[in-house]
Structure 1
Amino acid sequence: MHAMSLTPPIEDAWLVIPVFEEEQVLAGVLHEALEVFPHIVVVDDASADRSAQIAREVGVTVVRHPINLGQGAALQTGIDYVLRATEPTQAAYLVTFDADGQHRVQDAAAMVAKAREGHLGAVFGSRFLDDRTRPGLLKKIVLKAAVWLTNQQTGMKLSDAHNGLRVLRRDAALALDLRQNRMAHATEIVLQLGRTGLPWAEHPVHVLYTDYSRSKGQSLINSVNILVDSILK
């Protein structure tokens, strides 16, 4: 039995998963997520591989971009879909979740519980609130620099500004209007949520760096790109 199945399904939260060419791992990520989150929308950002087909075969909702628009645009498409396709009671919370296997479903479930119990508009996952995540020294330095820049730009005081695992209450999700399609969308999310004045918190999460996720762009180079995007935003 999968340990995840011990968690009761969360019926009033939707996972929003941006996808670009993740056919190697997507089925496993989705099957695991479905054990806790029965409502998932995958936004396929014009993948040339079988990602969209795999997601459909697993049985989740799929929205597809005809051209590649970037992760920020994919997140906004997924958020818009959930907000328009559901009543508030059906999607009280939206969870942004990566497709490459880096995020843990149990962390997402715990973050929804924290948002619910604390009446929070947003919960941000942070890999820097404990020492489970091992990004490597140089990557950590670059990501910390990006955090500092984001906090300067937004007035927020986050410990991890570019973690793709977030929980948004429906009213917070309604406030988002993302225009930055590259990694700068993470700063934009923080900025726009900060402007709402809604209460928020961080939650410690364990980001799983694998050979696959590193090959998909979670390298030091990608961290530098995040920093550059934060400066140029």
Structure 2
Amino acid sequence: MKVIIVMPAYNEEKTIKQSLQSLEAGFPGANVVVVNDGSSDKTEEIALKEGAFVASHIINRGLGATLATGINSAIRKNADIIVTFDADLQHSGRDIKNLIEPIQKKRANAVIGSRFLRTEDLEMMPPVTKFGNWFLTGFTNLLARTKVTDSQSGLRAFDKKAAKAISIVCDRYDVSSEIVYELGRCGMKIEEVPIKALYDERSKRKGTNVREGVKIMYGILLKRLWLRK
């Protein structure tokens, strides 16, 4: 099965090379689509040097728009499985094999890499991030009628059916909840597998704050009520 990795990237010149090398080490021969979201640094140049296919936005459009561009690009490239993988070194390429296994074995249409399934992984998560994710996941599950443990995870996999079914209209961080909502709405089979997330000071600052959390809840509520497409 053809696997394509979608890596959203905005001003990630400090980590994009290591992220791509982690992918190659943990999942050799990976087909990677880096979506450069209007970066003002050398993100695009470095990604090209590392052998990735790069799709670029002229301006910064946000995580949701970037994932939509990457997923659509992977569909056009006839991917059987599409994996989303952050460029900030939070994820390990070694987790991809387990992530895609439920799809390969036809047990699931989508798989979410969860940081909440193993105690040792959960202990690494900053307390504020842990509480915010727990709260947003509960709210997302309520509206989406799903039972996931980590709705805000950036490491996910979709089969072709799920990738084509979901409709991404959120431009920013609310896309994570929107994806779970869309999978539930479309009746996709969802599984979760444990993943290890690594946190440094930079990644801790990038986490969802209270203000963003409220925006995410508001956006997914509007979609649930069909006030937005």
Give TM-score, length-normalised by structure 1. Answer: 0.87
Alignment partner of 2:119: what SS? Answer: coil
Alignment partner of 2:113: what SS? Answer: strand
Q: Percent identity?
A: 32
Contact 1:143 1:223 in 2 (8 A): no
- CA distances 1:184-227 after superposition (whole Å, capped 9, x unpaired): 11111111111221222111111111123224x13xxx332442
Alpha-carbon distance between aligned partners in 2 of 1:223 and 1:143, rounded to the nearest angstrom: 10
- CA distances 1:126-174 after superposition (whole Å, capped 9, x unpaired): 1111112221323212211111111112111111110010010011001
Question: 1:103 maps to what in 2?
Answer: 91
RMSD: 1.4
Map 1:1-233 → 2, pairs under 5 A:
12-35=2-25, 36=27, 37-86=29-78, 91-133=79-121, 134-215=124-205, 217-218=206-207, 222-233=208-219
Alignment partner of 2:65: what SS? Answer: helix
Structure 1: 5+ residue stretches without partners: 1-10
Alpha-carbon distance between aligned partners in 2 of 1:230 and 1:57, rounded to the nearest angstrom: 36
Q: Between Structure 1 and Structure 2, how many residues are aligned?
A: 215
- CA distances 1:65-100 after superposition (whole Å, capped 9, x unpaired): 0011100000000011111133xxxx2100011000
Alpha-carbon distance between aligned partners in 2 of 1:116 and 1:100, rounded to the nearest angstrom: 27
Contact 1:183 1:225 in 2 (8 A): no
Q: Which amino acid in structure 2 is aligned with residue 144 of structure 1?
A: W
Alignment partner of 2:91: what SS? Answer: coil
Contact 1:41 1:60 in 2 (8 A): yes
Alignment partner of 1:132: what SS? Answer: helix
Residues 106, 114 of structure 1: alpha-carbon distance in 2 compared, 3 angstrom cutoff = farther
C-alpha displacement at 1:182, in angstroms? 1.2
Contact 2:110 2:157 in 1 (8 A): yes
Q: Which amino acid in structure 2 is aligned with residue 169 of structure 1?
A: D
Contact 1:150 1:230 in 2 (8 A): no
Give TM-score, length-normalised by structure 2. Answer: 0.89
Residues 225, 209 of structure 1: alpha-carbon distance in 2 compared, 3 angstrom cutoff = farther
